[in-house]
Amino acid sequence: MLILIYYKDILKKQHILENMSRSMFENTETAFKLKDNYSLYNAKLLFNVITKKYLVNFLTTLTLFSLKYKLPVKWILKKTLYKHFCGGVDINECEVTIQGMKKMNVNSILDYSVEALKTEQDFDKACKKKMEIVDLSFSNESIPFAVFKPTSLGRYSLFKLVNAKIKLSKEEELEWNRVIDRFNMICNYAHSKKVRLLIDAEEFEVQEAIDNLVYKMMKKYNRKSTIVYNTIQLYRWDRIPHMKNLLKDHDNSFKFGFKLVRGAYMEKERIDALKNGYNSPICSNKNETDKNFNSAIDLMFNNINSVDFFIASHNEFSTIKTVELMKKHGIKEDDEKVWFGQLYGMGDNISFNLASKGFNVAKILPFGPVENLMPYLIRRAQENSSVEGQSNRELDLIKTELFRRSKAS
């Protein structure tokens, strides 16, 4: 009987939070204030396509084929998918977007989203670019964090070897040391400028190598303030035990920085697990992922003196849960301990409505050449087609705002 009452109480609380999330994030006028009608119609077209998985798969194949054989499709991509999800080719192109969002109290996090680099020269160039973004963040209050993808600093296949604990050759050891040096160079530079760093999570087959590197950087640079944040993908069923182990052995000589996300490699992870004969690291369904994510939020607040965290979510329920726990723990809306973030082009109803109430909010704004951002853009499309509820929610909000504008005109 007591168990039944307990679960009824949980369901009642969840129902209350769900109703609150809907009412808090329904204001489409605030959400889409920066988008003109053309941009909204473009977004409507994109999300109509994205909700159809077969179309995403077909268009992905067609796009990659066109780029490989240098067919003239870049201009179409730039005006559609790229325009919606990316800030521009370079920092100058991003400036209008950055300033526009800042007027509505929404910050920007510039993400130089260039992937699949292969040469030492390219890795050095990427390292230099990350440090330039740290400089930009230092000099511009609209950009509170810098961010980087670990495998932009070294060969992906080398990360795989280190992750699998395979003995490296002398040449590979020297190469891995250069990766560590680049990692340390960026973290040290960010520390000297007091700029916070969000370090991306990647695929299961390289993530442990990344985790170990980031942990060392947190121990080294998070002693007086939280500079280094590791990204935790909660669609992995092993991430809660992983964080609990870290927090259990914590000696309080430094602070943890965590960025909580649901995850971005679901399709690839399941295929890789099947192909290589190991259990999938991904939760069996979306409900399990949501449960994991909300458990991670609880874990953050249960260890509130040891962590600073960044809630990167397009899920309204998880966002409201965080807001309510902030109130419960007496954490003010603008306390730097807690940040909220969404990807540019998604979750505008969350970002702009939260910001209007004084919470710390930032949009992750990818930039770079169109062809180099294709892996990122394809991942966005695949992720959205896999989580149909999210795409339909985006589409409904866009339609609501277009209808509101038509009535107002």
Token readout for 141 is 């209050």
The answer to whether 119 and 155 are in contact (CB under 8 A) is no
| Torsion, CA 181, CA 89, CA 155, CA 201, rounded to 10 | 80
The answer to whether 381 and 60 are in contact (CB under 8 A) is yes
d(CA 23, CA 25): 6
Q: How many CB atoms lie within 10 A of CB 370?
A: 18
d(CA 166, CA 160): 9
The answer to whether 336 and 362 are in contact (CB under 8 A) is no
CATH number at residue 203: 3.20.20.220
| Torsion, CA 14, CA 345, CA 82, CA 402, rounded to 10 | 110
Q: What is the pLDDT of residue 7?
A: 47
Q: Please name the residues in contact with 303: beta carbons below 8 A apart, sequence gap of 6 or more.
A: 247, 256
The answer to whether 126 and 117 are in contact (CB under 8 A) is yes
Specify the number of domains making up the chain.
1
pLDDT along the chain (409 residues), means of 10: 51 53 84 95 89 80 78 83 90 93 97 78 92 94 94 95 97 98 98 97 96 98 97 97 93 95 86 92 93 98 97 95 97 97 95 97 91 77 66 91 91
The answer to whether 44 and 402 are in contact (CB under 8 A) is yes
Q: What is the pLDDT of residue 127?
A: 93
Exposed / middle / buried, residue 2 (Cβ in 10 Å: 0-12, 13-18, 19+): exposed
Token readout for 85 is 């999800």
Domain that holds residue 272: 2-408
